[in-house]
């Protein structure tokens, strides 16, 4: 049992890719009903939280310049919400270190929010249950509950209702990072526009992905990756088509735009294959940079307490 007060907490939260993402109708609240399979991968943001006299946030790492440091920052909103709901004055200094691409479709902002919830919860000793934290996460954004949860999970509703997915083994991914981000609302709006202007293909149900995950079959999984937002992301960023084709030509088992993009996730046979695929992709000049990451990864969790 810890007796000293906690002065500083560091939490690490993972990036996600959607192995399956089918987008349903646009709801009256502007969100879309989804069926998705979230998969956390080992690329992380870290958030430090220390006691302070005000609520502040700093951001470092790649793409930090384009992350807001005012009340639009999701980590700051997470701290404010947790404070409001627990009656704790929401004053804390948050320091975010970005390892997840900014505006890349990998839930980087959601990871920061989940990390801030976990960090402030520990720092303030709120004693909230896991379920209560998940409830607050859902109020912050559709992907925030999954950033807290990690692993592999089926998401429904607007993505915030989670059911863990049982699977075997782990998967080696190569993430191709694009120059600049894409706005998630813009990608959903493009999908609506495409659907309004004529029939567009929709991805089938998630069962093929669930079957592949159950047997730990990377080859089968590579074949069935599917994302309804992919065509919309390509329409807004046509170079993604070349990137997807290049990864497949280089031997990826499958490739998919991650969420609303523009990050593309390629599945490799194993770690060795991923090393080769990452090097080959980097040499093609079709993306800004590449990262390797294994999944499933853990959800937001404390890595240091002082
Ligand atoms: O929930 P979150 O803040 O991440 O959503 C960002 C935007 O993405 C929403 O404002 C909406 O435009 C779009 N979105 C959606 N349907 C979802 C999730 C997100 O239309 N299920």
**pLDDT tens profile 163-190:** 999 898 899 999 999 988 999 999 999 9
* Distance (Å, whole) CA 125 – CA 132: 14
Query: In 169-225, which ranges are E strands?
Result: 171-177
pLDDT computed for residue 202 by the predictor: 83
Query: For residue 176, how far is its CA from the centre of ligand 1 (angstroms)?
Result: 23
CATH class of 8-165: alpha beta
**Helix axes 130-140 and 108-124, enclosed angle (nearest 10):** 140
Query: For residue 221, how far is its CA from the centre of ligand 1 (angstroms)?
Result: 26
Question: Which residues are known to be catalytic?
Answer: 16, 143
Token couple for 129: 């249950």
CATH 3.40.50.300 for domain 171-295, yes or no, is no
Query: Which residue's CA is the closest to the ligand 1 atom numbered 21?
Result: 158
Q: Could you tell me if 118 and 148 are in contact, meaning their C-beta atoms sit under 8 angstroms apart?
A: yes
Please tell me if the CB atom of residue 141 comes closer than 6 angstroms to any atom of ligand 1. yes
Please tell me if the CB atom of residue 184 comes closer than 6 angstroms to any atom of ligand 1. yes
Ranges of each domain in the chain:
8-165, 171-295
pLDDT band at 201 (very low <50, low <70, confident <90, very high): confident
Please tell me if the CB atom of residue 32 comes closer than 6 angstroms to any atom of ligand 1. yes
Query: In the chain, which ranges are E strands?
Result: 8-26, 32-51, 55-61, 92-98, 152-156, 161-164, 171-177, 226-227, 254-257, 264-268, 289-295, 301-305
Tokens 């920052």 sit at which residue? 73
Please tell me if the CB atom of residue 190 comes closer than 6 angstroms to any atom of ligand 1. no
pLDDT band at 206 (very low <50, low <70, confident <90, very high): very high
Please tell me if the CB atom of residue 36 comes closer than 6 angstroms to any atom of ligand 1. no
Query: For residue 155, how far is its CA from the centre of ligand 1 (angstroms)?
Result: 13
Percentage, residues of the chain above pLDDT 70? 99
Please tell me if the CB atom of residue 159 comes closer than 6 angstroms to any atom of ligand 1. yes
pLDDT band at 4 (very low <50, low <70, confident <90, very high): confident
pTM of the complete model beyond 0.85: yes
- Give the residue among 127, 49, 135, 130 at the shortest CA–CA distance from 87: 127
**Helix axes 74-86 and 108-124, enclosed angle (nearest 10):** 30
Average pLDDT over residues 273-291: 96
- Give the residue among 177, 188, 111 at the shortest CA–CA distance from 146: 111
Query: Which residue's CA is the closest to the ligand 1 atom numbered 15?
Result: 31
Query: For residue 184, how far is its CA from the centre of ligand 1 (angstroms)?
Result: 7
CA distance to 30, 191, 198, 247, 261, per residue, from 195 (Å): 15, 6, 6, 28, 19
Q: Could you tell me if 257 and 244 are in contact, meaning their C-beta atoms sit under 8 angstroms apart?
A: yes
């Amino acid at each position: 049992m810890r007796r000293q007060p906690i002065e500083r907490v560091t939490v690490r939260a993972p990036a996600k890719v959607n192995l399956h993402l089918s987008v349903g109708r646009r709801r009256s609240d502007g969100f879309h009903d989804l069926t998705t399979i979230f998969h956390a991968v080992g690329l992380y943001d870290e958030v430090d939280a220390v006691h302070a006299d005000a609520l502040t946030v700093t951001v470092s790492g790649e793409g930090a310049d384009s992350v807001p440091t005012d009340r639009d920052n999701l980590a700051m909103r997470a701290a404010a919400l947790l404070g409001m709901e627990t009656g704790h004055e929401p004053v804390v200094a948050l320091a975010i270190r970005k390892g997840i691409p900014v505006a890349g479709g990998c839930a980087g902002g959601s990871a920061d929010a989940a990390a801030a919830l976990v960090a402030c919860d520990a720092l303030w000793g709120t004693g909230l249950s896991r379920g209560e934290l998940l409830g607050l996460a859902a109020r912050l954004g559709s992907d925030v509950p999954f950033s807290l949860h990690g692993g592999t999970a089926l998401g429904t509703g607007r993505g915030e209702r989670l059911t863990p997915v049982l699977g075997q083994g782990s998967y080696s991914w190569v993430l191709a990072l694009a120059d600049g981000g894409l706005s998630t609302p813009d990608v959903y709006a493009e999908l609506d526009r495409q659907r309004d202007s004529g029939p567009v293909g929709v991805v089938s149900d998630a069962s093929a992905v669930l079957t592949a995950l159950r047997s730990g079959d990377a080859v089968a999984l590579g074949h069935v990756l599917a994302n309804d937002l992919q065509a919309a992301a390509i329409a807004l960023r046509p170079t993604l088509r070349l990137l997807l084709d290049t990864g497949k030509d280089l031997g990826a088992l499958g490739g998919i735009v991650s969420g609303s993009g523009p990050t593309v996730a390629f599945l490799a046979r194993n770690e060795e294959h991923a090393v080769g695929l990452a090097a080959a992709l980097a040499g093609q000049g079709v993306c800004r940079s590449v990262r390797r990451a294994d999944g499933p990864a853990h959800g937001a969790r404390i890595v240091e307490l002082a």
